Amino acid sequence: MLQPRQGDCTTACILAGGWPVCHQLRDKRREFMSSTQGCGKHGSAPVVHMIGNAHIDPAWLWTRAEGRREVLNTARTVVALMHEYPELTFSFSQAIAYQWIEQEEPELFRRIQDLAKQGRWHIVGGMIVQPDCNIPSGESFARHLLYAQRYFLSRFGRTAKVGYNVDSFGHAGTLPQLLRLGGLDYYVYFRPDPAMEVAMDEDIYWWQSNDGSRVLACRPPNHYCTWAGEIEAWVVNAVAHAPERVGAVL
């Protein structure tokens, strides 16, 4: 049973892994709401927003062809679920993934374009792939941003506004400047992992480069790979990590 601690009454936003989360939320909603009655400034329960997303490595421990198939399978599944559940929203990064969908299944791509127009499918990242964020040169990052944002603008009439490198192992101190020049105002990342790698005083903060450029950065307390049995603990953990000064957390 969900048992929020005293003081956990706030708005929480969980970056979660798609369908299992939405399905579990429907089953757990009444239990969660009843366990948090009386919370909030006006006695209301906290609001939990579930945002579907897919972090897919185009090539890592599989071949490029396998990565391409995973992108297509994921897109098909999500679009079908969004048709079945009108309240479902989804965020997806990496211009290369969109290009694969456009090349392989034009009709599926058109459905994604329609969902983006409706404000339900959100383009994030603003780069070709989620890159290594330590070794590449500034010019490499600039080209990543230029080509990806140019592609998104040509296909969706808009560019990404939220940087999204959830599995990059470290992040160069010059990134805020590059992100802002690329049209991105926010940055979502997971690593360094707070439990196993590096703990930080804040998970939501203004990240500033030496030139003074800054983006609002957020490291969600819960990472990817959300299994159905973990939903309750993840909701409580997200609420517990919501800073009072912000009132929300990914």
**CA 58 – CA 177 distance, rounded (Å):** 26
CA neighbor of 172 nearest in space, from 212, 135, 217: 135
The pTM of the full predicted model, rounded to 2 decimals, is: 0.80
Task: Please write the tens of the pLDDT for every residue from 72-125.
Answer: 999 999 999 999 999 999 999 999 999 999 999 999 999 999 999 999 999 999
| Domain ranges within the chain, ordered by starting residue | 124-221
pLDDT tens-digit readout, 231-250: 778 777 777 776 666 666 66
Sequence-separated (6 or more) residues with CB below 8 Å from residue 241: 203, 221, 249
27 is catalytic: no
In this predicted model, what pLDDT tens digit does every residue of 8-40 receive, in sequence order?
Answer: 333 333 343 333 334 444 444 445 445 554 444
User: What is the rounded distance in angstroms from the CA atom of residue 159 to the CA atom of residue 124?
Assistant: 8
Question: What is the C-alpha to C-alpha distance for residues 44 and 234, in angstroms, rounded to an integer?
Answer: 20
Q: Is 156 helix (H, G, I), strand (E, B) or coil?
A: helix
Catalytic hit among 27, 167, 201, 203 = 167
Contact present, 10 and 248 (Cβ < 8 Å): yes
**CA dist list (Å): 65 to 62, 70, 98, 151:** 8, 9, 15, 22
Positive or negative torsion for Cα 55, 57, 62, 63:
positive
DSSP structural state of residue 29: H
